[in-house]
Structure 1
C-alpha cells in the first residue's frame, strides 16, 4: 500500500483537513468536506484493491459522514438562508473583536 493512489489520497486528506481546520468560512469548509469525500473514495478503492478491508470500511463510513458535511455546509437550503442573514452581523462582530484585541 505505497503506490500513487495512496499518496494522492494521503495528500488530499491532509489538504482537506487543512481546509476544515483553517475556519475560512462555510464555503471553504464545505469544499474541504468535498475533498474529504473524494479522498475517501480513493481510500476505499485502494483498500479494496490491496486487501486492506479495514481501511476500505473506515473510509466508507467517513464518506457518509463527510457527505453529510457537504450537505450541511454547501447544499442545505435552510442553512444557506441562515448564513446569508448571519454573514453581515458576523463581519461586524469580527471587526469589534479584532478592535478589542488590538486595544
Structure 2
C-alpha cells in the first residue's frame, strides 16, 4: 500500500523510484513464498512483477532522477548568475499560483506552448471548487509572471474567479486576451472591465 501511494502521488522521481523499490522488495518476498510452498503461479507472477519493478527503479531512480537533478542544477545556477532565471518546463505542472496580492489561487496543471515561437500561450490553473471538484482556467502569458517556485497571476482573486472555466475536454486553441465580462461571482465580488 505504501508503494502504491508513493508511485500514484507522483511527487518526483526519487519518491516514485523508492516506491518501485518497495514494490520490488514485496515481489522478492512473494517469490520466496512461492518457492517454499511450491506455488508456481505465485512464483511466476511475482517473478514478472519483480522484472517490471526493476524497470521502474531504473527509469525513476536512474534516468528521470538524473533529468530532474540536471534541471534543478540549471535553475540554481541561473539564480546566482547574471542570466535570466531558469526553471524546468515540467516544473510548471504542480506549481503554486498566487493572485496580485499574494493570496493562493490553486496550482498550475499545464502550460500550452506555441510550436512556431516556442512561447507559452497560456497556463491552465486549477482551483478547488466545493471540495473534490476543481475549476480549470486558461490564463494567458501576458497576465502571469513566472517564477522559479510559483506563478503570480496579474489579477485579484475576484477577477480570477470571474475568468471563464474550461471544460475538462475542451481547452482553447489559443489564449483569450480579453477581460472577463462583469459578473457577480457569488462571493461579494463584482469584476470586469
**Same fold at TM > 0.5:** yes
* CA deviation string 1:3-41 (max 9, x = no partner): xxxxxxxxxxx2211211111111100000011111100
Correspondent of 2:18 among 19, 25, 31: 31
Q: Find out whether 1:17 has 2:11 as its counterpart.
A: no
Which TM-score applies when normalising by structure 2? 0.40
**What TM-score results when the alignment is normalised by the length of structure 1?**
0.71
Q: Does residue 107 of structure 2 align to residue 82 of structure 1?
A: no
Larger strand proportion of the pair: 2
Structure 2: runs of 5+ lacking an equivalent: 76-86, 98-105, 109-124, 128-160, 162-193
Paired residues, number: 88
Q: Find the structure with the greater CA-based Rg.
A: 2
Q: Which residue is 1:101 aligned to? A: 126
* Higher alpha-carbon deviation: 57-66 or 83-92: 83-92
Alignment RMSD, CA only? 2.3
Tell me how far apart the structure 2 counterparts of residues 80 and 24 of structure 1 sit (CA, whole Å): 12
Question: 1:53 and 1:81 mapped to 2: Cα distance?
Answer: 38
Deviation sequence 1:25-70 (CA, Å, 0-9, x none): 1110000001111110000001111121101111111111110110
> Is the counterpart of residue 69 in structure 1 residue 70 in structure 2?
no
Q: Residue 17 of structure 2 contacts residue 56 of structure 2 at CA under 8 Å; is this kept in 1?
A: yes
Unaligned runs of 5+ in 1: 1-13
